[in-house]
Amino acid sequence: MKKILSVISSFLIMLCLGGVYAWSIFVPRLTEEHGFSAFQTQLIFGSIIAIFPLTMIFAGKIEKTHGTRLLAILSAVFWASGYLLAGYSDGKFLVVFLGIGVLAGIGTGFGYLAALTTPVKSFPKKKGLVTGVAAAGFGLAAVVMSLIAESLSSDGKSVLYIFRFIGITYGLTILLLSFFIHSTPSLYAFTRPGTGQLIFRRDFYKLFLGILCGTFGGLLVIGNLRTIGAQHPIGEHILIMGVSVFAVANFAGRLFWGFLSDFVGSKWSIVAALSFQAISIFIIGFAPLAPKLYILLSFSIGFAFGANFVLFARETTHVFGVHNLGAIYPYVFLGYALAGIFGPITAGLIIDIFGDFNYATLIASIITLTGAVLFLFGIQHHESIEQEHSS
């Protein structure tokens, strides 16, 4: 029963932490109420995405000696502190950046590692299923966050009030759930050979570059999804709905691509998902968007984007073993951190300079497609080696 509660708690913690994907809901409010530029709003979002994978590396060391539960507790403390600091910032950019971009980013990193590794350690024979369930919570979270933000906004609450509300309610929720985390022995105890040796393997670099390419485009779009849609004759309610649709698709995609990979393998699933994502991003940047097409593309991009967080984790376990997941995946996830820096910031700079997202989405689609090609060539190389061995 403790293990089942751990998986449920991990899902719910992810459901809180993944609210970062609803960031585009706050962008226009920060711009209108406090004069933030597009670059500033995307710098905050990009910092969260960059900092939380970096935090996972240090979180792994803490988990090794103190267990998983402490990571969840630290997550609650940093998350709540960050959003409360931003809520009492009086709209000062540097304070909001420090609160949400840095402190909440650190809290996300602690909680993400706890919620990702706990289910795998609890049910090692069902790692694909439980990893998908935990990761799906992170993808669905933007729906909850956007509904909360929209409800409070309709009641006339300021964006800083919303930050304070999120800091208190989400922080307390994560703290409560941390006591249901089953703190099993660390995966690090069984890691052989050393992490340093493993990350210099060719397989590691392919995983690192793959997730970098795959998440770059998705982060560029989700950080600006509402703004992209607002360039077309689309109503405010549909624009906000697009963020929720993206989140639902992100949730569904994590389950679907994980399920598919059990039949066709992680590599072919990665090629398919990244190709689909690249095409969808190109269309949303260049097609004249009507409400239905905006919603459809929000779904398709989110559906493909969710694959990154299941397939690369699954491929990491396939290449390096379940016992090395906690040690290696945080380093693979640094590719996501780089995408978090360059994806949203690239979009922010381009919109400030050109006033539209055409160039940004073109770059994003090309980089995403590069990730698909990288894995396609890797599959062909692997198959040619197998043919040589068989002959």
* 209 against 142, higher pLDDT: 209
* 287 against 356, higher pLDDT: 287
CB 268 within 8 A of CB 318: no
Cα 117 from chain centroid (whole Å): 16
> In the predicted model, what is the mean pLDDT of residues 328-343?
86
* pLDDT, tens digit (0-9, with 9 covering 90-100), for 61-71: 787 778 788 99
Per-residue pLDDT, 258: 81
Per-residue pLDDT, 207: 93
Q: Name the token pair of 78.
A: 């940093």
**Does 338 have pLDDT greater than 80?**
yes
CATH of domain 2-390: 1.20.1250.20
**Does 382 have pLDDT greater than 90?**
no
The b/e string for 200-226 (b: 16+ C-beta within 10 A; e otherwise) is: eeebbebbbbbbbbbbbbbbbbbbbbb
* pLDDT, tens digit (0-9, with 9 covering 90-100), for 178-187: 998 876 544 4
Per-residue pLDDT, 129: 67
Residue type, 105: G
Helical H segments across the chain, by residue range: 2-17, 27-34, 38-66, 68-87, 93-96, 105-122, 127-154, 159-178, 195-198, 202-222, 225-230, 236-264, 266-286, 291-305, 308-320, 325-332, 334-354, 358-390
**Confidence at 373, pLDDT banded by 50, 70, 90:** very high
CB 114 within 8 A of CB 68: yes
**Confidence at 165, pLDDT banded by 50, 70, 90:** very high
Query: DSSP states of 170-237 as a string?
Result: HHHHHHHHHTT---PPPGGGG--S-HHHHTTSHHHHHHHHHHHHHHHHHHHHHTTHHHHHHTSS--HH
**Which stretch of 188-192, 293-297, 317-321 has the lowest confidence by average pLDDT?**
188-192
> In the predicted model, what is the mean pLDDT of residues 330-349?
84
Per-residue pLDDT, 187: 44
Per-residue pLDDT, 294: 94
Per-residue pLDDT, 23: 87
Q: Most confidently modeled of 192-201, 239-248, 365-374? A: 365-374
Per-residue pLDDT, 386: 43
Per-residue pLDDT, 184: 54
The residue count of the chain comes to 391
> In the predicted model, what is the mean pLDDT of residues 354-377?
88
Q: Name the token pair of 244.
A: 């929720």
* pLDDT, tens digit (0-9, with 9 covering 90-100), for 227-261: 788 888 998 889 888 888 888 898 889 888 888 88
* pLDDT, tens digit (0-9, with 9 covering 90-100), for 41-85: 888 988 888 898 889 888 877 877 787 889 999 999 999 999 999
> In the predicted model, what is the mean pLDDT of residues 161-183?
92
Q: What percent of the chain has pLDDT over 90?
A: 38
Per-residue pLDDT, 124: 65
Residue type, 352: D
* 375 against 381, higher pLDDT: 375
* pLDDT, tens digit (0-9, with 9 covering 90-100), for 309-327: 889 988 888 888 777 776 7
Per-residue pLDDT, 194: 55
* pLDDT, tens digit (0-9, with 9 covering 90-100), for 96-138: 999 999 999 999 999 998 888 777 676 766 666 677 777 788 8
Mean pLDDT estimate for the chain: 84
The b/e string for 151-189 (b: 16+ C-beta within 10 A; e otherwise) is: ebbeeeeebbebbbbbbeebbebbbebbebbbbbebbbe
CB 246 within 8 A of CB 277: no
* pLDDT, tens digit (0-9, with 9 covering 90-100), for 21-31: 788 889 888 99
Other beta carbons less than 10 A from residue 388's beta carbon: 8
Per-residue pLDDT, 195: 60
